[in-house]
Amino acid sequence: MGVEQSLWRALTVYRTLALVYAIARYAQVADEYDHPVGGWAVMALLVVWTAVTAYGFRDPRFREPPWLIVDLCVAAGCLLSTRWLDDPERVAQGTMTLPTVWASAPVLACAIKGGWKTGSVAALTIGAADTLERGALTADNQHNIVLLLLAGGAVGYVVEIARVSEKALTRALQLEAATRERERLARDIHDSVLQVLALVQRRGAELGGEAAGLGRLAGEQEVALRQLISATPARVESADLPGSGADGDPARQDLRVLLGGFAGARVTVSSPGTPVLLPTPAAREVAAAVSAALDNVRRHAGERARAWILLEDEPDEIVVSVRDDGPGMEPGRLEAARAQGRLGVAQSIEGRVRDLGGTVVWSSVTGEGTELEFRVPRQGSG
């Protein structure tokens, strides 16, 4: 990941500058320590560990939790060593610890690796070590802990946003490449296959008889092929978003894509120009209800009946209408079917929509076809 790699390099620079500051400051006050040689030993440890992390963090395998825990332990140990190496009176007065701001580097490393939650845990760990070094929770300790929490949380959250943005950019580039390839194939197909199918359909209609049947099939395949080469699936995974995953929203899918698969010579699908995203289980249930409605059209209106599917995207709900040009239904037909125990419509259409918190409205006039409209609330479907 390019953004994350840049953050690791920036952390190495920060750690190095913090080390220079820690050494320079200790050189000024080393004579005031009870054990100055021990203090220089701590500085040497910081130099070695900074060099190790500068080299190691270039390799993703070195950024795994075991190494980050060691990084935290080094920082916490150097903090606590101040209590035994410095003058107790100076410690009680709240003088700066041996690693000073270098101790925040492991917190930032955890935030870059694991996000704001991991960064916050690391901040509390270093804050606890700082409190133990002082021997009490003072105002300075509280100030340091708050700063560490802000740094770990903010950096971790920014990293999560950066990961999402980079993945979205990658998907967009892939979609753009796929769209270009689809357009190229569409041009080739239009110049060959689609024109042949259109010719077969036209000549079959002119010749009549069995040729008319072949022409009709060619027309259906032409419509299906046009739908295939013009489809642009859209799918967004919420697990990519901060705070999602096992406890977040399920994957969301573009309902236009699912309904577009029903388009054919006798089925027309109309949908918005922008994605209509629903949680994948809800989108599939809606598509299954539409499929059942089309089966109902073929069963009762005949194979030659035409059907129209209209998808509408409203702020709080999605609306799907399925209309046909069949003979329509007599009043009370659905109620009579339920009374006779024939629950196909109730279970396959109304039951699915009702489970999503939606409603189904039937309208039919004898001789003028049937239309059903179901509304599915976005909140209920999630």
Q: Is residue 214 part of a domain?
A: no
HEC assignment per residue over 315-346: CCEEEEEEEECCCCCCCCHHHHHHHCCCCHHH
Q: Is the pLDDT of residue 27 over 90?
A: yes
12 occurs within a structural domain: yes
pLDDT in tens, 292-302: 888 888 887 77
Q: What is the per-residue pLDDT for 246? A: 35
378 in the same domain as 244: yes
Output the pLDDT for position 336.
60
Average pLDDT over residues 276-283: 89
Strand 252-254: give its sheet, edge to edge: 235-236, 252-254, 277-279
Average pLDDT over the chain, rounded to an integer: 82
Mean pLDDT of 75-100: 86
pLDDT at 83: 87
Judged by average pLDDT, the poorest of 5-19, 26-40, 129-143 is: 129-143
The β-bridge partners of 363 are 371
pLDDT digits (tens, 9 = 90+) for 320-379: 999 998 887 766 666 665 555 555 555 678 888 888 999 988 888 777 788 889 899 986
What sections of the chain are H helices per DSSP? 2-29, 36-56, 65-85, 88-93, 105-114, 116-134, 139-189, 195-207, 210-230, 255-260, 280-301, 333-339, 344-345, 351-355, 378-381
Q: According to the model, what pLDDT value does residue 238 have?
A: 37
Residues 203-207 have a mean pLDDT of 82
Residue 241 in this model has a pLDDT that exceeds 70: no
Number of compact structural domains in the chain? 2
Tell me: do 20 and 116 sit in the same domain: yes
* Higher-confidence position of 182 and 25: 25
Q: For the residues 89-111, what does the mean pLDDT come to?
A: 88
Separation of alpha carbons 190 and 228, rounded Å: 12
- Are 197 and 218 in contact, with CB atoms under 8 Å apart? yes
Each residue of 137-175: pLDDT tens digit? 888 888 888 999 999 999 989 888 888 888 888 888 888
Give the span between the Cα atoms of 78 and 371, in whole angstroms. Answer: 75
Phi, psi of 7 (to 5 degrees): -65, -40
Looking at the chain, the whole-number percentage of residues with pLDDT higher than 90 is 29
Domain limit, last residue, from 163, 186, 219? 163
Q: Is the dihedral of CA 294, 309, 301, 293 positive or negative?
A: positive
Type of residue found at 334: L
Last residue of a domain, one of 107, 142, 163: 163
Task: In whole angstroms, give the CA distance from residue 211 to residue 200.
Answer: 9
In a domain, 330, yes or no: yes
Q: Is residue 249 part of a domain?
A: yes
CA distance 19 to 42: 11
Residue 189 domain-assigned? no
- Asked if residue 151 lies in contact with residue 107, where contact means CB atoms within 8 angstroms, the answer is yes
In 3D, which of 161, 224, 170 has the Cα closest to residue 194?
Answer: 224
Q: What pLDDT does residue 22 have?
A: 94
Say if residue 157 is exposed, middle or buried (CB neighbours under 10 Å; 0-12, 13-18, 19+). middle
Residue 144 and residue 265 share a domain: no
Residue 302 belongs to some domain of the structure? yes
Please determine, for residue 249, whether its predicted confidence score (pLDDT) is greater than 50.
no
pLDDT of residue 126: 93
Provide the H-helix boundaries in 57-138. 65-85, 88-93, 105-114, 116-134
Gap between the Cα atoms of 179 and 176, Å rounded:
5
Instruction: Report the CATH number at residue 323.
Output: 3.30.565.10
Q: Which domain holds residue 108?
A: 2-163
pLDDT of 55 higher than 60: yes
Is pLDDT above 50 for 245? no
User: Phi and psi (nearest 5°) for 250?
Assistant: -70, 175
pLDDT over threshold 70, residue 68: yes
Residue 181 banded pLDDT, cuts 50, 70, 90: confident
Cross-sheet strand order for the sheet of 267-270: 267-270, 307-313, 317-324, 370-377, 359-364
Burial class (CB in 10 A: 0-12, 13-18, 19+), 76: buried
Same domain, 254 and 360: yes
In a domain, 326, yes or no: yes
b/e 188-199 (16+ beta carbons within 10 angstroms → b): ebeeeebeebee
Q: Which of 131, 163, 195 is the last residue of a domain?
A: 163
The pLDDT of residue 106 is 94
- Average pLDDT (81-96) is 82
352 occurs within a structural domain: yes
